[in-house]
Structure 1
Amino acid sequence: MIDSHVLVLNRSFLPINITTAKRAFSLLYQGIAKAVNSQYETFDYESWSDLSIEQHDETIGLVDRAIKIPRVILLVTYDRIPKTQVRFTRANIYARDRNTCQYCGVVFTKNELSLDHIIPRAYGGASCWENIVCCCFSCNKKKGSKGLHETGMKLLKPPAKPRWPPFFKVPLQDIRRQEWRMFLNMVDISYWNTELLE
C-alpha cells in the first residue's frame, strides 16, 4: 500500500512524475507538496489527515488514526516541466515489449526474460532500441549468436524506440485511476513524444 503510485503535478497542474505513496506523504508532511482531490482542491498534511475516509479509500494506519493515501499531489513551488526522454534501460525495454518474448510470443515475468541482440554483436549489431528485444531463455539459447536468417526465427514485430510519456512506465491499472484521468487528459501527448538519445 505504501509503495503504491501517486501522480505528481507541478504547480501548473501538469503531470511531471510518479512517486510512491511513502514519498508523497513525506513531501506532504514537509510542506513541499499538497494533496489534490477530484474537485482540484488542495490540502496540506493536516487538512488532508483530517478528511473523513470512505469505505473504498486506501489508507495507511498511524498510531491514533488512518489517513487516506493521496492519489495526486501538487508540488508547491516547482513549475518546470522535466525533459521527457525514455532512457534506454532494461526495465524500459521490458515495458516496451510488455514482458513478452519477441520470438515465441509468451508473456513472462522479468526474472524469466533476457535481452537479445537481433543482429548479434559478433556481426556488428548495436545496443540500441531497434536491435534489442525481450527474449525468453529458451528462445535466446536457440538463437544464440546467430542471425534470424540462420535460425529461421521471426520477430513478432520490429522493435522501435518507445514513444510514451515517462510516467507511462507504471502499471496500466494505475493509469486507469479515476483520480489521474483529469490530469492526464490535460496533457498533449505529442508534447511528450520526443526523440530518444542512445
Structure 2
Amino acid sequence: MATDTLNANVLVLNKLWQVVDICSVRRAICLLYLRHAQVVVKEGGAFYTFGFEDWKDFSRNSRGDDFISTINYRLKVPKAIILMLYDRLPPRRVKFTRKNIYLRDNNTCQYCGRKLRTDQLNIDHVIPLSRGGKNTWENVVCSCISCNMRKGNKTLKEAGMRLIRKPRKPDWKTFVKNRFNTSEWESWKDFLDVAYWNVELEEDK
C-alpha cells in the first residue's frame, strides 16, 4: 500500500450526518473493518452507505486508480465515512488564531498579493491597535514582512496602500476549501453545502 494514499484525508460524519472530523485513509479503513463506521458515497443524486463487506464488493466493480491493495482483495479509497454511534455536535466556530488567519488568506500578503511561506509572513492590523483598531477577523490580515514594515503604525491612507480584499470572518465552507486541496474539496462539498454549516463564526474573546 502506498503510504501517501493511506495518509490521505477522509471526511468524518457523525450518525446525524454532520461533519465532525477528518481522519486518514488508514484510520477510516480500521473503523470500517471494526464496524464502527460505514463508507458514504453519492451516486445519481442519492447517498449510499457501505459496511466493510459491501465496500469490498463495491470496490470489486469500481474503476479508477484510487485503490489500496491487500493480499486477498483491493479496496477503493473512501472519501467520507459515517460513524455508527457517535452523535456529538460538530464545532461551530473557526478559532481566531494566527494559523487560521494564514489559512483564510491562503498564505498571501493582502497588500502586495505575494504567496509566501509561513515564516515569511506575519499578521497586520489594518487599523493599528494604537489607533483604535480591534483584534478581530475584520481588522487583521496576512502580510509579508516588507509590507508590514512599510505600513507600520499608519492607516492605509497614510501609508498609501490598499488591500487586495476586505478581511472577513471565514465561513466554514471557505475555511475548509482553503485548508485542503481541490480534489478533496470537490469530493466533500456535498456534505459542506448543507445549510446548517453556514453559521456565523465568532472570534475568541
Give the C-alpha shift of residue 130 in structure 1: 1.8
SS of equivalent residue, structure 2 residue 10:
strand
Stretches of 4+ moved more than 6 A in 1?
Answer: none
Please give the per-residue CA displacement for 1:79-103, whole angstroms capped at 9, x wherever unaligned: 3432311111223212322332110
* Number of residue pairs the alignment of both structures matches: 194
Separation of aligned partners in 1, 2:22 and 2:90: 12
The alpha-carbon deviation at position 113 of structure 1 amounts to 2.5
Amino acid at match of 1:128: T
Quote the residue 1:192 is aligned against. 198
TM-score, length of structure 2 as denominator length: 0.76
**Is the 1:35–1:44 Cα contact (8 Å) retained in structure 2?**
yes
- Mapping of 1:95-110 within 5 angstroms? 95-110=103-118
| Deviation of 1:170 (Å) | 2.9
AA aligned to 2:180 is V
- Decide which of 27, 30, 35 is 2:34's aligned counterpart: 30
1:59 touches 1:66 (CA, 8 Å); kept in 2?
Answer: yes
Q: What is the root-mean-square deviation of aligned Cα atoms in Å?
A: 2.8
Name which of 164, 179, 186 aligns with 1:176.
Answer: 186
Tell me how far 1:124 sits from its aligned partner. Answer: 5.3
Flag the structure with higher helix content: 2
Q: Name the TM-score, length of structure 1 as normaliser.
A: 0.78
2:158 is the counterpart of 1:158: no
Q: Summarize the alignment of residues 103-182 of structure 1 with structure 2, pairs less than 5 Å apart.
A: 103-123=111-131, 125-165=133-173, 167-168=176-177, 169-177=179-187, 180-182=188-190
Residue identity in the other structure for 1:44: G
Q: Is the 8 A contact 1:10 1:76 kept in 2?
A: yes
Over residues 153-173 of structure 1, what are the superposed CA-to-partner deviations in whole Å (9 max), with x where a residue is unaligned?
221232121122464443343
SS in 1 for 2:30: helix
Q: Which residue of 2 aligns with 1:17?
A: 21
Which amino acid is 1:23 matched to?
R
Q: Aligned residues: percent identity?
A: 39
Letter in 2 for 1:31: R
Specify the SS of the correspondent of 2:183.
helix
The offset of 1:55, in angstroms, is: 4.3
Structure 2 residue runs of 5 or longer lacking an equivalent are none
Residues 26 and 146 of structure 1, relative CA distance in 2, 3 Å threshold: farther
